[in-house]
Structure formats: C-alpha cells, structure tokens
Amino acid sequence: MKRRSFLNSAISFSGLAMTWPILRGSSNVGTANSSKGFFSIDKRDDHWWFITPAGKPFFSIGLNHIDPATLRYPENIHLWRDKYQGSTIKWIKESVAPNLKQWGFNTVGWVQEVTVRQWRHSRSFTNDEYKALDMPYCHLLPFTEMHQWEQHTTHFDFFSTEWEEWCDYVARDHCAALSEDTNLIGYFYNDCPTWIHTQDQNKWRGPVFDPDRLKTETGKKELFELAQQYYKTTYDAIRRYDKNHLILGDRYEANAPIAIEVIDAALPYVDVLSFQDFRDPVTHLKDWHQKTGKPVLLADAAKMKWQTKKGEFTRNNGQWYAETLATLHKNPGCVGFHLCGAYQRNKARRYGLLDEQENPDQDNVALMQAANKRIHNWMEDRF
C-alpha cells in the first residue's frame, strides 16, 4: 500500500542518530492534571508507565480501526439489522468491547478506519459510543489533515488567526465533551504528519516545510518556530477545555524523515512521543527514548502483506505481534503498543481480526490473546 510504503531519504533516522543536537524543549512529562481520577504517566522502578485513575501502572495494549460500516455491505447487513437492530451502541456493547477484552486488549487505540483504498478515514466514536465501550481509549483530534496518506487538503498557516480559531473550535467540539471521561487516556493529532516528507498522492501540496531549508541554521530555526507555534496552539486550545487528559500528539512515521526541530518543539507540549512503524519498531522506539528521555508509544504497527489486489484479503501476523509486544514491554521508555487492526476487515483495508461475517482469524487471534495475557499477568504480579 502506498500509505505504508517506506521512504528513502538523505534525512534518515540513522542520519539523525549520528548528529543529535541538544534539545531545546523540556523532556519532562506532566502536561495533564496529575490528580487522581484520570490517566497520567509516571516512572516506577525505572520504567515509564501510563498510570490508571486508580493509581496502577498500565501498559496500553490497543487495537486500532473499528468501524461499524463494515457490517453494512449487502452480503452482511442482515447481521447489522437482525443482531444489532441497526444500533452502533448495541454493536459496541455486544461485539466490540467483549471481543477486545476476551482477546486481551485493554485499550482502543483509535477508531478511524480506511473507507476507500486511497485514502479516506471514517469518523471517530461519539461521546455516547465511548461510554458504551466502557474501556480505556485514545481519541484523535482533527486539527489538521497533513497525514502522509491524505491527498485532498492543503496546509494551514500556523501563524494565522484562522488556525487559532480552528484549534479552539476542535477543542471545544471534542475536548469539552470528553474532559470528564475517566476512560480517556489522551489525545492524538495527525497520523504520520508530512512535516518534511511527502508521498506520491500528496506531492502536489508538498511538505509543511521544505527539507532543503534545513541545510542552514536559519532554516532549522524557522522550522523549530513553526512547529513550536503548532504545538503551543494545539496545547493551549486543549487546555482551555480539558486539563485532565494526556496529550499523545502526532503519530510520527518512524521510517520517514523526522526533523529533530519538530521533535524538539513538541517536547514541552506532549506527554509521550508516538510513532507508527511497520519496519523496525523495537529499534526505533528504543532509540527515540534514549535520545530524548521521553516516554514512547508504538501507536500503529502490524506485519502483513500490504500490496493486496482488489478482492484479495490478508492476515495479521500473530507471531510477529507476540514477539514485538514482549520486547517493547521490556523497553523502559515504552508505554504501549497499538496494533494496526483492524477490528473487522472491509473491502478497502482488506484485513481484520474478524471477517465480514464476524468469523475471527482463529490462529492469529489465539497468538495475540496469549501474548496479551502474558503481559497482563506480568503486570498483575508486579503491581
């Protein structure tokens, strides 16, 4: 898939590792209200963890991409009508939540799902739908659409009054409604933002910032100031309406160019650094934590055959998932792993833990379930 294609660039992760500058931003966490009643983040026994409202360390094991429209094809809409009476609330209560818990997932990573092959995503859950879910979750705030897979929208001017007004609206619309929900872990922003890279489908708009300008100190300073304005504006908007929840920020594509100036600017305004990585998440998350001191989250990852043809379906690799989860859990900076699901396959993404008739991928689900249970048991024994 083009969305998952791996980008080659002179400004690579390995290049950054050789010439890492001193970070201007603070690496300390604590942007959210640390009082009891909401998820927070803290270090226990030299390991960073999410901390539950009850005060217990929590390693987030999430599933992404959960869309009820997958049950509304002509060949399976009878399930939607007869089994769930056309109710998303009923579907969440009787299908999504029980299955996730049975499979050992303790978090909904983010729910938006691919709707057409190249690329549109479905809506997020509503406040009432999250209440029906009744388990920890993360929520995406649609401040911008600079995702690496998005091909239709232009970039905002982050220094404009329109940008500030839009951020306030998004926070007022989303955060004000969710601010008292104790199941909410925190807020994501973009999925793989194109700060200094593009993909084929969005080369027409270019990256947010021309990477060639990073060859000069002036250009580096300009990108830092631009990113700082972006993260400060979004942070301020959220905190006007929600002082309780964590800020998980952008989900950076770990295998695309990532400008240190962007990371530097983000550090004071986010609680963790979040990444998508379909190539080598264990190595990259270890490196990013060591270099920044910030907790890290693998917010989207999986192993499977990506380049499927129309009508061809693929399966998630449960063995890879189990091995990756176990290794990430040992990383003292890693606070979770969210699987690029999906919950139920559709004809656009073409993979999922359930097929269109709600039959599970028994072999791979069993491997995931066992891996999740091992982490759960370890956490229970330790804490």
Residue 6: inside a domain: no
Per-residue pLDDT at 107 exceeds 60: yes
Of 170-179, 198-207, 262-271, give the lowest mean pLDDT range: 198-207
Residue 8: inside a domain: no
Place of tokens 């001191």: 293
pLDDT of residue 199: 65
Residue 343: inside a domain: yes
Residue 284, Cβ neighbours under 10 Å: how many? Answer: 20
315 by Cβ neighbours in 10 Å (0-12 / 13-18 / 19+) ranks as: middle
Residue 164: inside a domain: yes
* pLDDT bucket at 347, cuts 50 / 70 / 90: confident
* pLDDT bucket at 113, cuts 50 / 70 / 90: confident
**171-175-181 Cα angle (round to 5):** 175
User: Is the pTM value of this prediction over 0.85?
Assistant: yes
Q: How many separate domains does the chain show?
A: 1
**Nearest of 94, 164, 160, 161 to residue 133 by alpha carbon:** 94
Q: Are strands 273-276 and 246-253 parallel, antiparallel or unpaired?
A: parallel
Residue 262: inside a domain: yes
* pLDDT bucket at 116, cuts 50 / 70 / 90: confident
CATH code of the domain containing 82: 3.20.20.80
Residue 182: inside a domain: yes
Residue 5: inside a domain: no
**Nearest of 247, 270, 124, 274 to residue 185 by alpha carbon:** 247
Per-residue pLDDT reduced to its tens digit, 8-34? 333 333 333 333 343 443 444 456 665
Rounded to whole angstroms, how far apart are CA atoms 300 and 251?
8
Per-residue pLDDT reduced to its tens digit, 123-157? 889 999 999 999 999 999 998 876 555 666 667 78
Residue 4: inside a domain: no
Domain residues for the domain of 133 are: 13-382
